[in-house]
Amino acid sequence: MPDLLQEPLTWTNTAIFFAWGVVLLLIVLGFVTYAIYFERKVIGWMQMRIGPNRVGPLGLLQSVADVFKLLIKEDTIPKKAERELFILAPVITFIPAFTVIAAIPFTDRLISSDLNVGVLYYVALSGISTIGIVLGGWASNNKYALLGGMRSAAQMISYEIPLVISIVGVVMMSGSMNLRTIVEGQAGGFWHWNFLPQIIGFAVFVVAAVSELNRTPFDLPEAESELVAGYHVEYSGFRFAFFMLAEYVYVFAIAGLTTTVFLGGWQAPLPFLDFIPGIIWFLLKFAFIVFFLFWLRATMPRIRVDQLMGLGWKVLLPLALVNIFVTAIYMAIAM
């Protein structure tokens, strides 16, 4: 793909880009379908339950059946809802979740778009999903949906700030916002990976990323005991599926970003293991991050909203700022 990016845009190149986009979309949709299945299986295993086991061999078709059910369910729109925005909100939420994947390098050659501002591209687009969630809550003309949308916006904006600042230390050390360059700077073994010198930034990033995903223990926007089902309470059928799809696509994206920025991307953990293809190392690290997110959901209780906001502003933000100063002092001494 990087070679094509340097060539003039032709009909052939356009067709290749389009085909690659379709393939990537199918891969992501396949990931979402079976990530839901494996999440239920992993949580069932951890909590001594069975999990899906009825539809298909070993329950492998359970998520397919669930998706099919959502697609054929009646699509209802509240009578007094803001119809156009109600329809548009799930789309605004999903599209940025998919497009941020374009900047993630899976190997040194398997990358959709080798952007010099890859980190900025990811941060800028991922923030747009907040607009879709707020619109979904407001356009429903339901006070509980509105409260869920506003709570979600407050949470995502609050945690996006430490999330972005936690990556600044990596950008300073790498001297680039190009994600491929950041990975190349981590070659030579796991002791060169960014999670070690940037351990504070890494810890802040992980906590903020879980909150950005609205997953346990930070799933306050969907706190059924307080707000029914949050911002998507009035949605049904495939429009509800778009919101769920966006959440799991962001799991894909955040796992890819964590692997790229902090865990060496496609780099082998030990130099003598370089003979193993880079895509294998990327997928192993990626799978570990996804498993970690499932593990959290199986074990952590939901925290209160005041604890959530206090953690973001009083703990994570100061730590992220401290990390920048520590990195700057270290670089000044090292130079």
Q: What are phi and psi of 240, to 5 degrees?
A: -65, -35
Which candidate, 229, 230, 282, 221, places its Cα nearest to that of 252?
Answer: 282
How far apart are alpha carbons 289 and 242 in whole angstroms? 23
- Torsion-angle region of residue 264: left (phi > 0), alpha (psi -120 to 50) or beta? left
Whether residue 1 is predicted with pLDDT greater than 80 in this model: the reply is: no
DSSP state of 198: T
pLDDT, position 2: 46
pLDDT, position 15: 83
Distances (CA, A) of 98 to 171, 208, 246, 250, 311: 23, 20, 8, 8, 29
pLDDT, position 227: 56
- Amino acid at residue number 285: K
The most distant pair of C-alpha atoms in the chain lies apart, rounded to whole Å, by 65
How far apart are alpha carbons 82 and 140 in whole angstroms? 7
pLDDT band at residue 277 using 50, 70 and 90 as cut-offs: very high
How far apart are alpha carbons 139 and 25 in whole angstroms? 28
pLDDT, position 224: 58
Structure confidence by residue, pLDDT tens digits, 220-272 = 776 655 656 778 889 988 898 888 888 899 999 999 999 999 999 999 999 89
E strand or H helix at 310: helix 305-310
pLDDT, position 223: 65
DSSP 3-state assignment of 115? coil
How far apart are alpha carbons 180 and 167 in whole angstroms? 15
| Cα angle: 119, vertex 105, 212; to 5 degrees | 45
DSSP sequence for 2-26: HHHHTSPP-HHHHHHHHHHHHHHHH
pLDDT, position 232: 86
DSSP sequence for 43-59: HHHHTT---S-SSSGGG
Whether residue 88 is predicted with pLDDT greater than 80 in this model: the reply is: yes
Of the chain, the percentage scoring pLDDT greater than 70 comes to 95
What integer is the mean pLDDT of 27-39?
A: 91
Q: Are residues 258 and 205 in contact, defined by beta-carbon separation less than 8 angstroms?
A: yes
pLDDT, position 5: 53
pLDDT, position 220: 77
pTM summary value? 0.90
DSSP 3-state assignment of 306? helix
Which candidate, 305, 314, 284, places its Cα nearest to that of 226?
Answer: 305
What does the block give as tokens for 38?
């494996």
Whether residue 3 is predicted with pLDDT greater than 80 in this model: the reply is: no
Long-range contacts formed by 72-78: CB under 8 A, 24+ apart: 72/237, 73/236, 73/237, 73/238, 74/236, 74/237, 75/236, 75/237, 75/238, 75/239, 76/234, 76/236, 76/237, 78/140, 78/141, 78/142, 78/234
| Of 306 and 193, more confident | 193
DSSP state of 315: I
pLDDT band at residue 214 using 50, 70 and 90 as cut-offs: confident
How far apart are alpha carbons 35 and 291 in whole angstroms? 9
Low-confidence winner among 11-15, 209-213, 224-228, 276-280 (lowest mean pLDDT): 224-228
Whether residue 212 is predicted with pLDDT greater than 80 in this model: the reply is: yes
Of the chain, the percentage scoring pLDDT greater than 90 comes to 53
pLDDT band at residue 22 using 50, 70 and 90 as cut-offs: confident
DSSP state of 74: -
pLDDT, position 215: 85
| Of 67 and 289, more confident | 289
Cβ partners under 8 Å of residue 109, min gap 6:
1, 2
Structure confidence by residue, pLDDT tens digits, 97-141 = 888 998 899 988 888 788 899 999 999 998 898 899 999 999 999
How far apart are alpha carbons 155 and 21 in whole angstroms? 31
